[in-house]
Structure formats: structure tokens, C-alpha cells
Amino acid sequence: VRRIALRVAYDGTDFAGWQVQRDERTVQGVLEASLSEVCKERINLVASGRTDSGVHARGQVCHFDAADTGPPGEKFSRALNRVLPPDVRVMDSAAVGDAFHARYAARMREYRYYLLEGRCADPFERPYCYLRASLPPVELLNRFASPLVGTHDFTSFAAEKDENESKHRSIASCAFYPEGPYTVLRILGNSFLWKMVRTIVGTILELGGSGATPRDLENILHARDRKAAGATAPARGLFLYRVYYDEKPFT
Amino acid sequence: VRRIALRVAYDGTDFAGWQVQRDERTVQGVLEASLSEVCKERINLVASGRTDSGVHARGQVCHFDAADTGPPGEKFSRALNRVLPPDVRVMDSAAVGDAFHARYAARMREYRYYLLEGRCADPFERPYCYLRASLPPVELLNRFASPLVGTHDFTSFAAEKDENESKHRSIASCAFYPEGPYTVLRILGNSFLWKMVRTIVGTILELGGSGATPRDLENILHARDRKAAGATAPARGLFLYRVYYDEKPFT
């Protein structure tokens, strides 16, 4: 038996999220079916974390254990891409040590959220961003983003159904920047609560459009109450961009 | 009766091209159905030109005549986007004079063809480019592109079934340039023969990878025989980018 890590990109549009669900098309379900075909044995995948229905990934990382027969670690990407549907691609694959664990060894997760200002997004942009008639300037958005950096209780920004025992999370970086026609939030943290990034985006957009001050954002954080925060921004603007490990699984 | 012009963007992936065909999903078919719903009368669209199955557009232009009732010209885009599927978007709409004709008044068409070098494209790039394990450098590609500028008989680069009487076309500009991870061919001409851009791309890729000289490209052009040229590059890399008119239909 050996352990293989995969870096996976997927267009979340037509998936009911990462995690296997009966009667739903999920990324884990599609990948496990392709892996079982390639490995000729039943394979269970472990990911760095789940992504919700409609959320995209450029750098989801997952691992599995397989018999020593079958392709060498670095050949899995090509073998899998031959059988996978076009909205999931394995960008990298590698044999890793037994100590590697896609979820528990992950030190940091990076998400990006894409915003677009305008009345109409073209069909190439539309599935991958949140279109708003107007957007506050980047400098103003960043005045609301910076108080989130650090270790805080993020109860206000978690879905009410979030079942994590501790709601404390450490945000290493949280900033908006312009990228082509988009305004993008790049957020890095040790881990995230359910719907946390999308609630942060929705809340900052509301504050930025209403003449609020960064103090209002701090008050929302301190309220520890989901009702204090703003709407959850749509899934289609969110990308799981990268997962960081102390020992890089891919060269 | 008044004339309305539309600028349309579409993801060609799930369309059997522009032109209406029985039992096929086509861009013209989908747009005419939506227009007829909005205008409450049967509408016929005239485009700057057809695009083939799988070819994308950022700036297709078309026009139609409608009764004076119904929305003002500039409101058609929003009214249509409410009923259109997400892979077609009307980016602009405007009332134009009777003299405007999307096809006959078009002075120049601009296409772009996207090439990507690598073993694996991610699911966001893959439907919109031609992935090649290796690509010749841009400077070399351009040595083969430049002899095509000017007025020539392009029989060698047209599909054998092309039914245009004259195979002479005038190319104003034909050059490759780098754009992010892509190598892009930008080609401008008065009009194009069937599959002409894709055959130019396929031929230049073959020549660029084989140690041929620009003289070889000129020989292919002078042969006036489709068999002299290379393979037709795939539709998914091709975008109808813009159509130029003496009087701009949109502000």
C-alpha cells in the first residue's frame, strides 16, 4: 500500500459540492469513481476540506491509499484525466509519505473571491464571479478587510448550522486587489468555518456601500451572532485557490 | 418597424454553431426564440457571419426588424438576458438606421485563436483553448503569419466544401502575441472563408514545429489546394472577437 496525493481543479457549476451524497453529482464521487476504475479497487479520497455546492477549486488537495500495483504516483494525473469529465482535472499527482494527510497536515488554506462591477457579465466571466451594479473602491473594501486579520471568534461569519466546536480561526491575510476586470478578495487562514469566506464578502459589500466604518465590522465580529453579519455572497465567485503544507507534496 | 442591432457573446461549447438547424441547439435558434418571446412576434436575425459548431464569440453582431411597440433599442439587452440561457449574453443593444446591415455593412472581422502549452489545462482554460505539449516561440510563429497579410487567394486554407465564388480575401493583420498563459493569434480581415482561421492556425503550428521556412508557407498559399495545408485546429480555441462597421452601432 502507498499514499498518493492529488492537486485537483474543478468548475463547481455542475457539482453539488465536494462531498459524496446519494443521488447527487459531487466532485468526490466523480473522482472516486475514476480512481476506482484506474486502480481496479475501491478508493476512498480524503480532501483538505469540503467545498460547497457551486464553489470552484484551482488547488484542492486530496490523498488516497492504493495497492502498489497500478501507475507510479506522478502518472496518476494523466491516467485520471483520460477518464474524468472535463469539469474536473487532476493538475498534479505524486507519491507521498504515510505522514502526509490532505486535511490534518494542511497548515493554511487560501481562497479567492471574484467580484465584477457592471450590468452584464459575458458568458465566460459569469459562472466565475459575483456581478454587482456597483462596487466600493478597493481601498475602502480593505478598510473593512484588515480588522479580520488575526485570531478571532468568527461565529458571526459562520453558517448557523456550522458544527465546529471552536469558532476561533486565525486569518493570516485578508485583502482585496484589482485583477483585470475583477476585484478579488484573497484570504489566507489556518482553516475556515462553514460559509465563512462568502459571509465575509457579503458583509463587507454591505458595509462598503452604506457609509459604515471599520468599527462597524469589529462590532459585527464581537457580536458572535450570525444575524449581525450580512448576506452570504454567491458560491460561483469563490475559488479554493491553494492549500499549504510544511512538506510540499508536489514538486 | 425599426431596426435593432445586438452585440452578442456566447460560449460555443454546447452549440451546434450559429445557424439555425432542425433538431440542433444553435445560437441563432436560441436568440430568435428569446427575441420572439420579448417582441411577441416572429423575429429573424441576421448576423455578421456564421460561426461553426464549438466556436465562441465575444463580439458577434446581428440585427433584426421589430414592430415599434416593445422596449426601446438599448433596453433589449436586459430584457433578453432575463430569458436567455447563461451561455449566451447580449452585451449591447441599440436602435440603428435602416442602412445598417450586420453582414453587408461589416468592414472587418477580428478573430482570436488561443493556444496553450502544457500537458494539462485546468477546467477553466480547457474549453477555450487548444492545448499542445509544446509550442514554437512567438517570433517563429510570426515569421509564418506575416506572409498571409495582404490580398490572396486563400483556397488552400478553406474547407473543401466552402462555396464562396471568390476565394480572394484581404488580411489586414495576422500576428501571434503572448497573453497571460496563452499564445494568441489575432487576425483581422474583410471576411473569411469556411474554417480559414483554424486551418491557418493548424498549418502554422505544423510548419513551426518542423523546421520549415516562411517560403514553405508561401508555397502552400500559391498551391491553391486544401491538401497542401495542415490540419484544421479545433473549434474551442477560436473566438469571433469583434466586427467593425463604418458607423458604430453601439456607443
Q: How far, in Å, CA of B142 to CA of A28, rounded?
A: 44
Q: Is there a contact between B87 and A11 if contact means CB atoms under 8 Å apart? A: no
**Between residues 70 and 99 of chain B, which touch chain A (CB distance below 8 Å)?**
77-78, 81, 86-91
Nearest chain A residue to B87 by CA distance is A123
Q: Which amino acid is at B145?
A: A
Average pLDDT, integer, range B18-23:
94
Closest CB to A123 among B87, B120, B126: B87
Task: Look at residue A205 in the predicted model and tell me its pLDDT.
Answer: 98
- Indicate the pLDDT class of residue B69, thresholds 50, 70 and 90: confident
**How many other C-beta atoms lie within 10 A of the C-beta of residue A224?**
15
Tell if the CB–CB gap between B88 and A119 is shorter than 8 Å: no
The mean per-residue pLDDT over the stretch B56-76 comes to: 94
pLDDT number for residue B120: 87
Residue of chain A whose alpha carbon sits nearest to that of B77: A120
The pLDDT of residue A175: 98
Q: Distance (Å) from the C-alpha of residue B121 to the closest C-alpha of chain A?
A: 8
A123: DSSP letter: T
Q: Which residues pair with B183 in a beta bridge?
A: B115, B178
What pLDDT is recorded for position A120? Answer: 87
Cβ(B181)–Cβ(B195) under 8 Å?
no
HEC string for chain B: CEEEEEEEEECHHHCCCCCCCCCCCCHHHHHHHHHHHHHCCCCCCEECCCCCCCCEEEEEEEEEEECCCCCCHHHHHHHHHHHCCCCEEEEEEEEECCCCCCCCCEEEEEEEEEEEECCCCCCCCHHHCEEECCCCCHHHHHHHHHHHCEEEECHHHCCCCCCCCCCEEEEEEEEEEEECCEEEEEEEECCCCCCHHHHHHHHHHHHHCCCCCHHHHHHHHHHCCHHHCCCCCCHHHEEEEEEEECCCCCC
pLDDT for residue A70: 82
pLDDT confidence tier of residue B187, bands split at 50, 70 and 90? very high
Annotated catalytic sites of A, by residue?
52
User: Are A124 and B126 a contacting pair at CB < 8 A?
Assistant: no
Phi, psi of B58 (to 5 degrees): -105, -25
- Check B78 against A119: CB less than 8 A apart: yes
pLDDT interval class at B194 (50, 70, 90): very high
Q: Which residues of A145-173 are buried (b: 16+ CB within 10 A; e: fewer)?
A: bebbbeebebbbbbeeebeeeebebebee
Question: What does pLDDT average to over chain A?
Answer: 96
**Cβ–Cβ of A123/B90 closer than 8 Å?**
no
Q: Work out the percent of chain B whose per-residue pLDDT is above 70.
A: 100
Cα B184 to chain centroid, rounded: 14
pLDDT band at B70 (very low <50, low <70, confident <90, very high): confident
The pLDDT assigned to B224 comes to 97
Counting Cβ atoms within 10 Å, is residue B104 exposed (0-12), middle (13-18) or buried (19+)?
A: exposed
- Nearest by CB to A126, which of B56, B89, B121? B89
Asked if residues A99 and A105 have their Cβ atoms less than 8 Å apart, the reply is yes
Q: Do B89 and A119 touch (CB under 8 A)?
A: no
pLDDT of residue A77: 95
Rounded CA separation A191/A48 (Å): 10
- Whether residues B121 and A89 touch (CB distance < 8 A) is answered with yes
- Residue A167 touches partner B, C-beta closer than 8 Å: no
pLDDT digits (tens, 9 = 90+) for B210-228: 999 999 999 999 999 999 9
Class of residue B13 by CB neighbours under 10 A (exposed 0-12, middle 13-18, buried 19+): middle
The set of catalytic residues of B is: 52
A23-69: pLDDT as tens digits: 999 999 999 999 999 999 999 999 999 999 999 999 999 999 999 88
Owner of C-alpha cell 495545408: B229
Mean pLDDT of the region B49-64: 97
Across the interface, whether the CB atoms of A122 and B87 are under 8 A apart is answered: no
Q: Which residue's entry shows cell 494542511? A: A106
Q: Which residues contact A158 (CB under 8 A, 6 or more apart)?
A: A164, A167, A193, A194, A195, A196, A199, A226
Percent of chain B clearing pLDDT 90 (strictly above): 96
Can you tell me the distance from the alpha carbon of B167 to that of A40, in angstroms, rounded to the nearest whole number? Answer: 55
A180 → chain B, closest CA residue: B180
Q: What is the mean pLDDT of chain B?
A: 96
In this structure, the strands spanning B2-10 and B88-96 are: antiparallel
Residue B7's pLDDT is 98
DSSP letter string, A51-67: --TT-EEEEEEEEEEE-
At A163-192, the pLDDT tens digits run: 999 999 999 999 999 999 999 999 999 999
Q: Give the pLDDT of residue A79.
A: 95
CB atoms within 10 A of CB B42: 8
Of A9, A89, A122, the CB nearest to B9: A122
Q: Sorting pLDDT into bands at 50, 70 and 90, what band is A71? A: confident
Nearest-CA distance A169 → chain B (Å): 30
- How close A59 comes to chain B (CA, Å)? 10
pTM of the model: 0.90
List CB contacts (< 8 A) between A120 and chain B.
77-78, 81, 89-91
* Record: contact A120-B77, CB cut-off 8 A: yes
The residue in chain B having the minimum alpha-carbon distance to the alpha carbon of residue A120 is B91
Shortest alpha-carbon distance between residue A120 and chain B (Å): 7
Give the integer Cα–Cα distance in Å for A154 and A126: 30
Least confident range from A6-10, A27-31, A246-250, B5-9: namely: A246-250
pLDDT at B155: 98
The per-residue pLDDT for B71 is 87
Q: What is the mean pLDDT of residues A80-100?
A: 96
- Which residue in B75, B112, B122, B242 has the most chain A C-beta atoms within 10 A of its own C-beta, making it the best mutation to test that interface? B122
Please name the residue of chain A whose CA is at the shortest distance from the CA of residue B124.
A11
> B251 or A45: which carries more pLDDT confidence?
A45
Interface-testing mutation among A89, A93, A114, with chain B (most B C-beta atoms within 10 A): A89
Cβ–Cβ < 8 Å for B89, B9: yes
Residue type, B5: A
Q: Determine the pLDDT at residue A118.
A: 92
- Euclidean distance between CA atoms B193 and B33, whole angstroms: 28
Calpha distance B76→A131 (Å, rounded):
19
Q: Which of A3, A64, A67 is nearest to A28 (CA)?
A: A64
